[in-house]
């Protein structure tokens, strides 16, 4: 029997069908700066030099992690693309950058055009909401590497910031206030632990959790929140000394990345109500509070560091929560975040 690529598990025709199915969707994210079309070897994007004086490119790459497993089991594939775009938008936002374009990677065991279209629709929805172009990507059919129903996602975002408006954390000083912005569930972090707890208790995606008044799928597949629309107006005011996107590592692992040497962030965990989903996971998994802090966002998805005289204005504009302060580190204490 003679072999060909299709018999080896790679269907080139299905790939082309998938591209044709998503072309019109993807084009809805385009703006006047896009000079190429989907299917080109590279995406072409024109920089508007009239709009930017000293533009700095800010780029980030990320994935969705094991949240994908729940999405696959629940057959909800349109949310994970939104998760990925919004996660990446937040990552560059903390440095003061506005998203310009996004590229995706989809690795699949068996390429099914209708499923690809669902995933891409999530990318498109989030790109449009964040005023970001979906300029290109890659679909790789990899039989023998992924099972036929499995897939993986990764994405790269490129944004721009004025050099003078970059947020690096260098302005952070003692007495600055910490303003927390609420999260929308787990976002895209902590799912390895969450899924272990679910599996050990025999819970499936369609299981109903009385304490949360929700199914597992509804509770754990909430879309990662983008903070762009909320924070963008604040960037022009230059009030923000530092920002932290609370992802893997929780508040301690991420806030510490923007705290200068000699300073320490003191968090008042009683300042906000930890959402029920985290309390439920903690009780069911018998997880210690320090571990919960390291793994989950616990209801705070973004932290802004601002001067005390600006805190009330920022609180009113964001409906955020005052969750702590920046203080001088004491003695030999090198911890950047304390509770």
Encode pLDDT of 201-235 as tens digits.
999 999 999 999 999 999 999 999 999 999 999 99
pLDDT in tens, 108-133: 999 888 999 999 999 999 999 999 99
Superfamily of segment(s) 12-165: PurM-like, N-terminal domain (3.30.1330.10)
Which pair of tokens denotes residue 118?
A: 């669902």
Q: Residue 144, exposed/middle/buried by CB under 10 A (0-12, 13-18, 19+)?
A: exposed
Is the separation of the CB atoms in 244 and 257 below 8 Å?
Answer: yes
Q: Residue 322, exposed/middle/buried by CB under 10 A (0-12, 13-18, 19+)?
A: middle
Q: Please tell me the CATH code under which domain 177-338 is placed.
A: 3.90.650.10
pLDDT in tens, 48-106: 888 999 999 999 999 999 999 999 999 999 999 999 999 999 999 999 999 999 999 99
Is the separation of the CB atoms in 191 and 67 below 8 Å?
Answer: yes
Give the C-alpha distances (Å, rounded to integers) separating 282 from 25, 152, 288, 295. 41, 28, 7, 11
What CA–CA distance (Å, rounded) separates 326 from 307?
A: 10
Neighbouring residues of 50: CB distance < 8 A, sequence distance ≥ 6: none
Calculate what percentage of the chain has a pLDDT beyond 90.
84
What CA–CA distance (Å, rounded) separates 17 from 115?
A: 12
pLDDT of residue 335: 84
**Planar angle of CA 154, 69, 294, nearest 5 degrees:** 75
Q: Alpha helix (H) ranges present in the chain?
A: 12-27, 67-74, 80-93, 113-129, 191-200, 216-220, 228-235, 250-255, 276-285, 289-295, 311-318
pLDDT of residue 40 exceeding 90, the answer is: no
Please give the model's pTM, rounded to 2 decimal places: 0.94
Which pair of tokens denotes residue 5?
A: 């690529």
Q: Where are the domains of the chain?
A: 12-165, 177-338
pLDDT of residue 62: 96
Instruction: Sheet with 177-182: list strands edge to edge.
Output: 240-245, 300-306, 177-182, 321-328, 263-267, 337-338
Q: Which residues of 111-130 are buried (b: 16+ CB within 10 A; e: fewer)?
A: bbbebbbbbbbbbbbbbeeb
Beta bridge partners of 181: 302
Q: Quick count: other Cβ atoms within 10 Å of Cβ 52?
A: 13
């Amino acid at each position: 029997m003679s072999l060909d690529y299709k018999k080896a598990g790679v269907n080139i025709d299905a790939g082309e069908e998938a591209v044709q199915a998503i072309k019109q969707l993807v084009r809805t994210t385009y703006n006047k700066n896009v000079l190429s079309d989907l299917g080109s070897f590279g995406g072409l994007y024109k920089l508007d030099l009239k709009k930017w004086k000293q533009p700095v490119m800010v780029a980030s790459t990320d994935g969705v992690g094991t949240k994908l497993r729940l999405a696959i089991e629940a057959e909800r594939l349109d949310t994970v693309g939104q998760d990925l775009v919004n996660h990446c938008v937040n990552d560059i936002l903390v440095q003061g950058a506005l998203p310009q374009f996004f590229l995706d990677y989809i690795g699949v065991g068996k390429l099914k055009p209708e499923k690809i279209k669902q995933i891409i629709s999530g990318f498109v929805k989030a790109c449009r909401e964040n005023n970001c172009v979906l300029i290109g990507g890659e679909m790789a059919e990899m039989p023998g590497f992924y099972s036929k129903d499995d897939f993986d996602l990764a994405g790269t975002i490129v944004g721009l910031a004025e050099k003078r408006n970059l947020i690096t954390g260098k302005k952070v000083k003692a007495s600055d206030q910490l303003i927390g912005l609420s999260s929308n569930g787990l976002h895209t972090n902590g799912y390895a632990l969450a899924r272990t707890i679910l599996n050990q208790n025999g819970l499936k995606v369609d299981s109903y959790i009385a304490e949360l008044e929700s199914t597992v799928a509804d509770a754990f597949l909430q879309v990662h929140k983008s903070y762009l629309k909320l924070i963008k107006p604040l960037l022009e005011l230059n009030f923000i000394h530092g920002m932290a996107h609370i992802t893997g590592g929780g508040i301690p692992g991420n806030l510490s990345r923007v705290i200068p040497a000699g300073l320490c962030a003191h968090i008042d965990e009683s300042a906000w109500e930890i959402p029920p989903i985290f309390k439920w996971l903690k009780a069911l998994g018998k997880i210690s509070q320090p571990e919960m802090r390291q793994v989950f966002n616990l209801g705070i998805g973004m932290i802004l560091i601002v001067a005390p005289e600006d805190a009330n204005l920022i609180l009113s504009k964001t409906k955020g929560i005052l969750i702590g302060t920046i203080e001088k580190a004491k003695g030999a204490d090198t911890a950047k975040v304390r509770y």
